[in-house]
Chain A
C-alpha cells in the first residue's frame, strides 16, 4: 500500500483524496511500524528547508525511511520541499538533506529574473513541463503538460541523467528528478487537476 509520510508537514489529505477518488488504497504513516507496511512512499513537504528537515529528523521516521528507500529500493516520490529534501543541501538552509539524489537546491537568481519584469518570485502558478525521457511515471502524457508551482528554490542535479522533467522560468530547471527508485517533483500534483491525478496514478502503478 502507498504510505504518505506524516511528519507534520505538507498537505497529506490532498494526496489521500486523490487516491480515494481513484480507488487506490493509501495510508498516513506517522510511526516506523506503520511505515514498514509501505510498498510505495509519498514524501510531502512545504515551507522552509531547515524546518522541514528538522521535522523529519525529529519524527522518528528517518532511519526506517532511509532503509526502505536505499536498501529495499521501495519507490518513493518527494513533492515540492519533499523533493528538495532529497538533495544533499539547500541554499535556503544549513542542515544536510537526505542526499538520496546527488545535487543541491538553489535559489532562482532574482537579478536575472528581474531583467524580465514578467518573472517575479516566487514562481507561482501554472507552467509546462518538458518530459525528457520515457518513463512509466509519464505514461499517457503528451506534449508539455501543465502543473501548479509555488516555490523560489529549485533542484540542481549533479548528474544530468537525474533530470527527467524540465520547466522554464527565466532559466530551464529540473522540475522532475529521478535516481533509480527515487523520484522528486517540484510542482504540486495533488493540486494540478487531471495532470496531477495522472502522475499520482502512474506512481501508484510503478
Chain B
C-alpha cells in the first residue's frame, strides 16, 4: 500500500542552510551537503530543497550547487527557487533532480504549467503555494517572493486551475505557521485536500511527531513536510539534523486508520 511521505524541507541562502520563522529572520543551521549525508543515513522518504534567494533576487538557479546536492542524494529530491522557464526545469531535472518546484513564475503566468506538463511531464512538476490567512475573515491568499508580495490569489482557485493545466503535486506552505512548531493548520487542510486530485503536501507548523500523526490520521495518504522539526532539537532549538527512526515512523504511519 502507498504510504504517506514524511519530508524534510531545507532552505538555502548564500549557499548555506537556514531556517526562518514566519518567513523572516533566517538563522544559519549548517551546510546543505552535510545535511543531505545525514538524511541519506536516516533513509528519509524524500527531500525538498528551496533556494529562498533565487526568485527574490531575480537570480538563475545555482546549477552547480544543485548538481552537487543531487549527486549526493540517495532519496528523491525536489528543488525549487528561481525557475522561470521549461528550459531551466529540464536542465535541473537532467542534473539528477526528480521534481522541480514553482511558485511565483506560475502564479504570474499559469500557462507555464501546461507547457511544463507537455515538455517535462507533469509528474515532475510541483506547485508550492505560500499561503497566509487574511487579517479579517477566514479567507487565505497566496504570497510570493518570501511572503513579501500578496498575489491576492485564492489558494483553492489557483490549485484547481493548476490541476487542470497540469501539475503533479501541490505543496501548501503556511507562512504564519513557519518555524512556529505548534502544529499544522488542520482545518484548512481538510477543506483543501478534499477538493484536489493530485498528491498534496503540507508544510509549516510541525514541531513534534504527534503533529504529523494528527495530519495523517485526519487526511490519510498525504505528504507531511517540515523544516524546523528536522533541523532543531529541544526547546532551545539546538541545531541537530534528525528524522524519525524506522520504529518511530511505523508508529506515525500507523495513525492512518482507514
- Chain A residue total in the interface (Cβ 8 A): 40
- Least Cβ–Cβ distance between A184 and chain B, in angstroms: 18
- 8 Å CB contact of A150 from B45, B72, B74, B76: B76
**Within 8 Å of chain A (Cβ to Cβ): is B2?**
yes
- Could you say which of B23-31, B134-142, B178-186, B191-199 contacts chain A? B191-199
- Could you say which of A23-31, A59-67, A125-133 contacts chain B? A125-133
**Within 8 Å of chain B (Cβ to Cβ): is A106?**
no
* Beta-carbon contact of B199 and A120 below 8 Å: yes
Complex Cα spacing A190 to B98, Å: 11
- B198 cross-chain contacts in A, Cβ below 8 A: 120-122
- B114 cross-chain contacts in A, Cβ below 8 A: none
- Least Cβ–Cβ distance between A65 and chain B, in angstroms: 20
Complex Cα spacing A117 to B223, Å: 15
- Could you say which of A46-54, A71-79, A95-103 contacts chain B? A46-54
* Beta-carbon contact of A118 and B221 below 8 Å: yes
- 8 Å CB contact of A126 from B5, B71, B74, B197: B5
Residue of A whose beta carbon sits closest to that of B253: A126
**Within 8 Å of chain A (Cβ to Cβ): is B1?**
yes
* Beta-carbon contact of A124 and B168 below 8 Å: yes
- A47-B124, A119-B2 given as contacts; is B98 within 8 A of A11 (CB)? yes
- A118-B221, A127-B3 given as contacts; is B119 within 8 A of A150 (CB)? no
- A120-B198, A122-B198 given as contacts; is B74 within 8 A of A18 (CB)? yes
- B3 cross-chain contacts in A, Cβ below 8 A: 125-127, 146
- A124 cross-chain contacts in B, Cβ below 8 A: 5, 123, 168-169, 199
**Within 8 Å of chain A (Cβ to Cβ): is B19?**
no
* Beta-carbon contact of B123 and A9 below 8 Å: no
- Contact flags B210-225 to A (C-beta < 8 A → 1, else 0): 0000000000110100
**Within 8 Å of chain A (Cβ to Cβ): is B206?**
no
Contact residues of A: prevailing secondary structure: mixed
Q: Which of B43, B94, B121, B220 has the most CB of A within 10 A?
A: B121
* Beta-carbon contact of A125 and B45 below 8 Å: yes
**Within 8 Å of chain B (Cβ to Cβ): is A193?**
yes
**Within 8 Å of chain B (Cβ to Cβ): is A32?**
no
- 8 Å CB contact of A152 from B2, B43, B119, B123: B123
- B59 cross-chain contacts in A, Cβ below 8 A: none
- A17-B71, A124-B123 given as contacts; is B199 within 8 A of A191 (CB)? no
**Within 8 Å of chain B (Cβ to Cβ): is A151?**
yes
> Can you report 5 residue pairs joining A to B where beta carbons are below 8 Å apart?
A11-B70, A17-B72, A48-B118, A122-B168, A152-B122
Enumerate chain A interface residues (CB-CB to B < 8 A).
Answer: 8-9, 11-14, 17-18, 46-48, 51, 110, 114, 117-128, 146, 148-152, 168-169, 188, 190-191, 193-194, 196
